[in-house]
Amino acid sequence: MQYRTLGRTGVQVSTLVLGAMNFGKIGNTTQAEATAIVDAALAAGINTIDTADMYGTGDSEEIVGKAIAGRRDDIVLATKAAMPMSDERNHQGTSRRWLMTALDNSLRRLGVDHVDLYQVHRWDPRTSDEETLSALTDLQRAGKIRYFGSSTFPAYRIVQAQWASTANHLSRYVTEQPSYSILQRGIEAHVLPATQEYGMGVLAWSPLASGWLSGAVRAGREITTHRSAILPGRFDLTAAANQARLAAVEQLAALADDAGLTLIQLALGFVTAHPAVTSAIIGPRTLDHLHSQLAAADTTLPADVLDAIDRIVAPGHDLAPDEKFDTPPSLLDPTLRRR
């Protein structure tokens, strides 16, 4: 396992981070199965676990809490808030009112007195940066969080938040958690240059592109990834974007074979090769999934392989642009662009 410094915090994190989204309802992973995954991940050198309050509406945090009991100090523990937790309109977002409550709920479910990294799961356009940063700074000063970060922020919001923290003498976001894979490279154009400018750590989620780069989606074969049952539209091979993805996957699989690598090693090695990326978040549902991904822990892709990847999927290009999660609200909500 390799380790890198998380932004400018001085904290050392493994280049593979154990993501816990599949623990509980989403991945049908039981407590026993999740604990076995955590045990194996820690034994392999992974020292960072990432979860969120909305994963299974708290299930994931509870499972993680039980799995790490007695060894919390050896783990860099990260969670997130902002996504809806109920039908109550104020049980979401990044207001001081909700963040204070959401963190206490997360700490209770995790069975800990603090988290190392508390992340805003999505930018909340209804709440000012000053409101959010002030609340997070107070939580940090209270000792309930050590650092805080953003997740899936567009580049201009990253810049705005950094300015707001300086202008208001508040602590700043020290990390960003974007979606990044060979098939979704859009963040290379603006987000990653912004995180580098501000010295932010980057924890990349979905490095296997929801299973597209796991080997579970290949031409002429039945699709076996668990995500296809949850999000069938993303794997509908009649869609133009998915046809483009499948064509790229076939070329990438051949490239991996020629390089003596698995497709998973190629995919994870690509993500961690970018100088702006600190770690890739893996989200195994089973021990077999974990072991196949741990095989990439020491993978370093040579320049010729990286160049070949660039020829298959161009730098800064998303093969499925409709699946972006950082589209500005003004493009999604007609009322924001019409009088």
d(CA 17, CA 52): 14
Residue 261 carries which side chain, given as an amino acid letter? L
Task: Report the 10 Å Cβ neighbour count for 134.
Answer: 18
Hey, what are 258's tokens?
């020629």
Q: How far is CA 206 from CA 72, 92, 267, 282, 331, in A?
A: 25, 23, 10, 7, 24
Catalytic pick from 3, 55, 147, 180? 55
Burial class (CB in 10 A: 0-12, 13-18, 19+), 190: middle
Question: Which string of b and e fits 210-246 if b means at least 16 CB within 10 Å?
Answer: bbbbbbbbeeeeebebbbbeeeeebbeeeeebbeebb
> DSSP letters of 265-279?
HHHHHHHHHSTT--E
Report phi then psi at 87, rounded to 5.
-80, -15
Q: From 26, 37, 71, 49, select the one nearest 279 (Cα to Cα).
A: 49
Q: At 335, which helix (H) or strand (E)?
A: none
Distance from the first to the final alpha carbon of the chain: 55
The answer to whether 183 and 313 have CB atoms below 8 angstroms apart is yes
55 is catalytic: yes
Q: How big is the chain, counted in residues?
A: 339
Catalytic residue ranges: 55
